[in-house]
Amino acid sequence: MPRQVDHAQRRRQIADALWRVADEQGLDAVSLRRVAAEAGVSMGLVQHYFASRDEMLLFAMEAVGERVARECGAALAEMADPGPRDRVGVLLRQWLPADEQRRREARSQFAFLVGGVGGPAGTFLRDGMAMLRAHVEAEIVADGHAPDPRGATTILLALAEGLSAHVLGGHLAPEEAGAALEAGIASAFGPA
């Protein structure tokens, strides 16, 4: 009897390999061939799932978004009645590279941002950042504490991104970055 192939799992395996290649060798090194080698699968198998590098990059970006959404949803489900501050806190804590997967994704994300990736992945990243900004600003408006919600949003997102860079550079421990992020959240939303 032939084995059943979990196509979603296979695509995630390839996306994980893409993030490892991008992390270890840089974004320019990402190719169907290199990702296939990293995933331990044939080039033909990668091409079966992804017709191009751009398609593979887009899927990998979408997979990160889905992981973040799942983890945020799980964290919020554990709270009795999450408010705007809780929702933003959970989301921004996902940004901090506190474990190996998030470190790898964050290093690659910075490569995307600095490299000015074009194509569908670049569009996805720009649209995602705009949606993130709009979401955080809407939560700050709903909370009603900050006199300048747009400014508070800019500060919070820049803080999260900067803290992420400092953790990646080894200048801050994830716990220190988490404490600084909590202080920034308290500034935008007021005391808990």
Q: pLDDT of the chain along its 192 residues, tens only?
A: 666 777 888 888 999 899 889 888 877 888 999 999 999 999 999 999 999 988 888 888 888 888 889 999 999 999 999 999 999 999 999 989 998 888 888 887 777 666 666 677 778 888 888 999 999 999 999 999 999 999 999 999 999 999 999 999 999 999 999 999 999 999 999 776
Domain extents in the chain: 7-189
190 torsion bin: left (phi>0), alpha (psi -120 to 50), beta (else): left
According to CATH, the superfamily of the domain at 7-189 is Tetracycline Repressor, domain 2 (1.10.357.10)
Contact by Cβ (8 Å): 141, 189: no
